[in-house]
Amino acid sequence: MDKGKVYLVGAGPGDPKLITVRGLECIGRSDAIVYDRLASPRLLKHAKPGAERIYVGKLPDRHTMNQEEINRLLVDLALQGKTVTRLKGGDPTIFGRVGEEAELLQEHGVEFEIVPGISSAIAVPAYAGIPVTHRDLASSLSIITGHESPEKLDLSIHWDKVTNATGTLVFLMGVAKIGYISEQLIKHGKPPETPVALVRWGTRVEQRTLTGTLADIERKVKEADFKPPAVIVVGDVVRQREKLMWYEKKPLFGTRVLVTRARAQASELAGRIDDLGGEPVEFPVIETREPAGDEAQRRIGLALESAEDYEWLMFTSINGVDYFFRWLARLGVDIRRFHKARICAVGPATAEALASRGLRVDVLPAAYRAEGMLDAVKDAVRPGSRALLPRGDLARATLPAELRRYGVEPVEIDVYETVMADSDDSDVLELLEKGAVHVVTFTSSSTVVNLLERLRKLGVKQPAALLEGADIACIGPVTAQTAREAGLNVTVMPADATIDGLIAAIAARRAGG
């Protein structure tokens, strides 16, 4: 059997977007991912289907695997012919023990590659508004490990040389020893008033920053019960935080948002959350697909054969647009055959989906739901006319029922169906149980129903109770009504039933507005 290859990859400081392009490539091509707690679990979503995921994370009080076992694991996986990514927080060459792992791989003739990552030593201070160098304040930098006993620190650190060797000192993993570190720096010449910052879980939604001086930082750490992991910055550059703090000012900073909509559409909402400083947790509970069976195709085909007879095309979702055009292509129906039809779209996003295909919307309602569509067309529809409604199988009956009242013949075709998605549950359930999800978003009634059902299947007897600690954000009144009927307390609902409106409403809620 041919030997595999091991990529020793720096995952960056925590924000999954700070991994390198090369790092993502390695994850995507690997048969096994070996990762620790400092690497964002969101990076695992880039693994190929079937890739083995092995957690070897270390906590201050326990180790899942010791370093020797991890070294051996990498060798064993490679000797099985597997391509392996060893995913390490920050940069693997900065206190990442990559040398030990690489040495054993070399001894066994296993090919390896070291992929640098963005070190927490520079990224975490940057996210706290602290540049580690500054033309007027610090032109040099020292990176020092603080994760040792005082005796070991004294053996590994020459305090008399380090203290004033560079303008900025960065200690990694030194929260528990902050008192001893401060004492030694003062003892060897640092003024007691030297600024200090501790940044916990930097670049993540849990980021917290504590500032002080060498003289008082130990007391402040104890008073705040400030826990590791954290990066310690010592030097005048800490004062820059007052002017340069940026990440913590974002509207959704500190907010973890559960995104339940279909995977194909989740990226837009997740991207907006990320841009505003929040952390999106994508957990699609619905999927859309073409209806199965010959009967469904026959009904769609019959409806499209009468393209010239329709005076209205009414689209109630982006999915309806997407799947409608898929069926046109599959059945060979020319869109120009609908030349008599006026087009009504439920909202601007649906109108944009049509515009991207060269179709302008004639009617756009003020309220983005079925009732709004009826209000918008009621004076324009003609009794005896026909309207084609390309929709999903779970669409409400309101629109076709009301069209009949106006003498319009609605022709409904289920161009897609909505089913429960199959995705990894473990991380999301753990976050919910810890109360670490701050907002749960619902963009349709089916996302409400399916999320609660998924939680029941995971053994949660009262799923609505599990969500009590989070804000429940619904895109519109119909979705909100479904949520309330399911026992959820809806706290966020935008005036406009759009993704932009939903994001703005969430930001206002988190700001206390």
Q: Using one digit for the tens of pLDDT, what is the confidence trace for 469-512?
A: 999 999 999 999 999 999 999 999 998 888 899 999 999 999 87
Q: What is the pLDDT of residue 174?
A: 87
d(CA 464, CA 466): 5
In this predicted structure, the answer to whether residue 394 has a pLDDT above a threshold of 90 is: no
Parallel/antiparallel/unpaired status of strands 141-145 and 168-172 = parallel
Q: What is the pLDDT of residue 366?
A: 81
Q: What is the pLDDT of residue 1?
A: 65
pLDDT above 70 covers a percentage of the chain that reads 96
Q: What is the pLDDT of residue 80?
A: 95
In this predicted structure, the answer to whether residue 146 has a pLDDT above a threshold of 90 is: no
> Which listed residue (82, 88, 173, 373) is catalytic?
173
Structural domains of the chain ordered from first start: 5-118 (3.40.1010.10), 122-248 (3.30.950.10), 256-285+421-510 (3.40.50.10090), 289-419 (3.40.50.10090)
Would you state the torsion angle of the CA atoms of residues 150, 153, 154, 158, taken in this order, to the nearest 10 degrees? -150
pTM comes to 0.85
What phi and psi values does residue 109 have, to the nearest 5 degrees?
70, 25
pLDDT confidence bin for 96, thresholds 50/70/90? confident
d(CA 324, CA 329): 9
Q: What is the pLDDT of residues 26-68, one digit of tens each?
A: 999 999 999 987 788 889 989 999 999 999 876 555 556 888 9
Q: What is the pLDDT of residue 215?
A: 97
105-114, 264-273, 308-317: range with lowest mean pLDDT: 264-273
What phi and psi values does residue 75 have, to the nearest 5 degrees?
-65, -50
**Chain centroid to CA 69:** 31
Q: What is the pLDDT of residue 137?
A: 93
Cis before 291? omega within 30: no
Q: What is the pLDDT of residue 152?
A: 67
Give the Å distances, CA to CA, from 476 to 239, 384, 493, 498. 45, 32, 6, 8
Residue written as tokens 């940069």? 91
3-state secondary structure of 65: coil
Mean pLDDT (the chain, rounded): 92
pLDDT confidence bin for 513, thresholds 50/70/90? low
Residue type, 32: A
Let me know if 430 is exposed, middle or buried by CB neighbors in 10 A (0-12, 13-18, 19+). Answer: exposed
Hey, which residues does 52 pair with through a beta bridge?
A: 32
Average pLDDT over residues 65-78: 91
Q: What is the pLDDT of residues 326-371, one digit of tens each?
A: 999 999 999 999 999 999 999 898 999 999 999 999 999 887 777 8
> Which listed residue (15, 31, 36, 471) is catalytic?
36
d(CA 121, CA 138): 15
Residue type, 152: K
Average pLDDT over residues 445-456: 93
Residue 198 CB partners (closer than 8 Å, separation 6+): 175, 178, 209, 210, 211, 217, 221, 226, 230, 231, 232, 233
Catalytic residue flag (residue 36): yes
Catalytic residue flag (residue 58): yes
In this predicted structure, the answer to whether residue 425 has a pLDDT above a threshold of 70 is: no
pLDDT confidence bin for 125, thresholds 50/70/90? very high
147-151, 266-270, 324-328: range with lowest mean pLDDT: 147-151
In this predicted structure, the answer to whether residue 413 has a pLDDT above a threshold of 80 is: yes
Average pLDDT over residues 198-221: 96
Q: What is the pLDDT of residue 395?
A: 86
> Which listed residue (58, 220, 250, 340) is catalytic?
58
Q: Are 149 and 255 in contact (CB under 8 A)?
A: no
pLDDT above 90 covers a percentage of the chain that reads 75
Direct distance between the N- and C-terminal alpha carbons of the chain, in angstroms, rounded to an integer: 63
Average pLDDT over residues 203-207: 94
pLDDT confidence bin for 236, thresholds 50/70/90? very high
Average pLDDT over residues 404-413: 94
Average pLDDT over residues 116-133: 97
Radius of gyration of the chain (CA): 28
In this predicted structure, the answer to whether residue 304 has a pLDDT above a threshold of 60 is: yes
Q: What is the pLDDT of residue 63?
A: 58
d(CA 500, CA 9): 36
